[in-house]
Amino acid sequence: MCRPSVVTWFSLLSLLCVLPATRGVAQDASPSVELTAEAPAAPPGIEPVSGDVTPSTRSEVSSEVPSPTGSVTTELAAPHEPTVVVAEIAETVPEVVVDPTPPVAVAWGRGLTFHSDDDRFSLQIRGRLQAQAFVESGVSDADPASVDFLVRRARLVFRGHLLDANLEYYVQLGLAPRDMEPDLLIPVRDAQIAWTGLRDMNVRVGVMKVPFSRERVISSSSLQLVDRSIVNAELAVDRDNGVQLYSNDLFGLGGYLGYQLGVFGGDGRLRVNNDLGLLYVARVQVQPFGRFDDSYIESDLTREERLRLSIGVGFAYNEDTNRRRRTTTDFYQLARFSYFHGEADLILKYAGFSLQAELLLRQVDGAASATNLDAQGMEIVETSGSALGWFAQAGYLFDFAPVEIAARVADIYPQGPSAVHASREVTVGFSWYPMGHDLKLQLDGSYLSTARESTGVTSLTERFQGRVQVQAYF
């Protein structure tokens, strides 16, 4: 009788000692149950933690407290205690704040970009340099050869938005000698503000490229060969002061249809128009196989295996201009002419292959020549520049390396009495794109011919030209 009694009392004492320890484990484990159940999903790249606990705090808790299981925790945990523990832990954890838009960013091909804290203002600064070497020689020994090095283009670009993302500005400075006109040495090439808040009617005002032909609108930084064609040099419409309405997704069709309408001074960029003659421009482009963002970039650097085609048609009327070529270079001494301009263009891309073509016409409205008397009373006869021109250009970018071969053929034909001479260009080229158009090396060779008529006799001038150019566009 004595031995069973002793055993019984000893068992009761042991149970009393075990119960407090068991209750302590349950209390320590219960906060982990609540934290795990309420933990939110962590953003990518951040280790998930329980509640507001930092990774280090969680590891300490996990190493000291075993994971609770089922009914043991449910029976032993006091329902009011986890809330107190969670509050104590949360007070010791700093809040993690992720800034999605850094105030300053630097990247090759995107320049230096600044953003305000509220993103209402932004400024992007980019610089571009084209360094070129060229050699030119005539076919006959009588034509002298020439070799030279030059900075073909040196540009600074400032762009961004003001107050609202839809209010954009763009300023481009040209610092090389050929970036400025000889009689107007002002580096401003573009200075414009655009409102893009309406899908079907955006507005741009200032100094800009006239939206007429595709090759001229394409940036000189995005060319397939070293420079544009002779057709562009003679017949395209250049920069001017004015206003344009435009849309790249008219009627919301997904980019299939776009347009540009503009009114400009007609005498060239930064020129003051002293008469009523203006330049009126209209253009429409269609992308029948769907929108593609590089329709105004030469070469198929994306090598996308999808047929992409963009077709454009443009019309312009320049009233009472004293420019002999385009809206830049060469002035008439006394004469002024009005011109009709028309053009059609296309660009096609597929899996590294690209094809581009244009047809341009400039036709005088009225008499083809004008006779005036200068200050000394001498008679001066000046002839307008009616002409028709076309070019076709094709290239292929290989898939094993960022290298491309390309070729172009271009012709200009004078129309009636004209100051324009018949000309031809045949060019072949090679390009290497280690960083796309932002860093590239290009070389090309051209055959150039010009036929001049004088007193019924036609003389043909032929020459060969070779160019090497490197572009860095930070």
The residue from 31, 57, 91 where one domain ends is 91
SS3 content of the chain, % helix, strand, coil (to 5): 20, 45, 35
Q: Do residues 80 and 117 both lie within one domain?
A: no
Does residue 97 form part of some domain?
no
Q: Do residues 77 and 225 both lie within one domain?
A: no
Identity of the residue numbered 181 = E
Q: Do residues 330 and 402 both lie within one domain?
A: yes
Q: Do residues 238 and 268 both lie within one domain?
A: yes
Q: Do residues 129 and 233 both lie within one domain?
A: yes
Contact 178, 132 (CB under 8 A): no
Report the chain's C-alpha Rg in angstroms: 36
At a CB cut-off of 8 Å and minimum separation 6, what does 391 contact? 215, 229, 230, 231, 357, 358, 408, 409, 410, 411, 425
Residues in the chain, how many? 474
What does each of the 474 residues of the chain score in pLDDT, given as a tens digit? 444 444 444 444 444 444 444 444 444 444 433 433 344 444 444 333 333 333 333 333 333 334 433 433 434 344 444 444 433 434 444 555 555 667 899 999 999 999 999 989 999 999 999 999 999 998 777 778 899 999 999 999 999 999 999 999 999 999 999 999 888 889 999 999 999 999 999 999 999 999 999 999 999 999 999 999 999 999 999 999 999 999 999 999 999 999 999 999 998 888 887 777 899 999 999 999 999 999 999 999 999 999 999 999 999 999 999 888 877 778 888 889 999 999 999 999 999 999 999 999 999 999 999 988 888 888 999 999 999 999 999 999 999 999 999 999 999 999 988 999 999 999 999 999 999 999 999 999 999 999 988 777 788 899 999 999 999 999
Q: Which residues pair with 209 in a beta bridge?
A: 239
Q: Which DSSP helix (H) or strand (E) runs through 418? A: none
What the block records as the tokens of 97 is 């704040």
Q: Which domain holds residue 68?
A: 20-91
Query: In 3D, which of 447, 453, 467 has the Cα closest to residue 138?
Result: 447
| CA 104 and chain centroid, separation | 20
Backbone angles phi, psi at 123, to 5 degrees: -145, 125
Look at residue 101 in the predicted model and tell me its pLDDT: 65
Does residue 12 form part of some domain?
no
Contact 102, 91 (CB under 8 A): no
At a CB cut-off of 8 Å and minimum separation 6, what does 101 contact? 115, 119
Q: How many CB atoms lie within 10 A of CB 107?
A: 9
CATH code assigned at 225 = 2.40.160.10
> What is the spatial distance between Cα 345 and Cα 356, in angstroms, rounded to a whole number?
8
The residue from 68, 91, 114 where one domain ends is 91
> What is the spatial distance between Cα 80 and Cα 324, in angstroms, rounded to a whole number?
91
> What is the spatial distance between Cα 354 and Cα 298, in angstroms, rounded to a whole number?
8
Does residue 5 form part of some domain?
no
Does residue 108 form part of some domain?
yes
The count of domains in the chain is 2
CA quadruple 181, 183, 189, 195: dihedral sign:
negative
Look at residue 425 in the predicted model and tell me its pLDDT: 98
Q: Do residues 299 and 447 both lie within one domain?
A: yes
Look at residue 256 in the predicted model and tell me its pLDDT: 95
CA quadruple 291, 293, 298, 304: dihedral sign:
negative
> What is the spatial distance between Cα 37 and Cα 301, in angstroms, rounded to a whole number?
50
Look at residue 426 in the predicted model and tell me its pLDDT: 98
Contact 81, 43 (CB under 8 A): no
Q: Do residues 57 and 128 both lie within one domain?
A: no
Helix H, strand E, coil C: the string for 69-128 is: CHHHHHHHCCCCHHHHHHHHHHHCCCCCCCCCCCCEEEECCCEEEEECCCCCEEEEEEEE
Does residue 273 form part of some domain?
yes
Query: In 3D, which of 408, 358, 416 has the Cα closest to residue 387?
Result: 416
CA distances from 171 to 40, 107, 281, 395 (A): 46, 20, 22, 32
Q: Do residues 80 and 189 both lie within one domain?
A: no
Q: Which residues pair with 158 in a beta bridge?
A: 125, 171
Mapping DSSP to helix (H, G, I), strand (E, B) and coil, where does residue 455 land?
Answer: coil
Does residue 99 form part of some domain?
no
Does residue 14 form part of some domain?
no
Distance, first Cα to last Cα, the chain? 99
Mapping DSSP to helix (H, G, I), strand (E, B) and coil, where does residue 145 land?
Answer: coil
Q: Do residues 84 and 224 both lie within one domain?
A: no
Contact 443, 468 (CB under 8 A): yes
Q: Do residues 184 and 47 both lie within one domain?
A: no
CA distances from 308 to 87, 192, 246 (A): 60, 30, 22
Q: Do residues 30 and 172 both lie within one domain?
A: no
Does residue 4 form part of some domain?
no
Q: Do residues 359 and 288 both lie within one domain?
A: yes
* Cα angle, residue 342 at apex, residues 318 and 248 outer, rounded to 5°: 95
* Cα angle, residue 24 at apex, residues 18 and 27 outer, rounded to 5°: 140
Query: In 3D, which of 362, 268, 355, 269 has the Cα closest to residue 315?
Result: 362
CA distances from 18 to 12, 15, 25, 111 (A): 10, 5, 11, 70
The residue from 66, 91, 116 where one domain ends is 91
What the block records as the tokens of 471 is 């572009």
Place of tokens 């009472």: 320
Q: CA dihedral in degrees (436, 442, 445, 446; nearest 10)?
A: 60
Look at residue 275 in the predicted model and tell me its pLDDT: 75
Contact 237, 244 (CB under 8 A): no
Look at residue 17 in the predicted model and tell me its pLDDT: 45
What the block records as the tokens of 54 is 């930092």
Mapping DSSP to helix (H, G, I), strand (E, B) and coil, where does residue 344 land?
Answer: strand
What the block records as the tokens of 193 is 């503000």
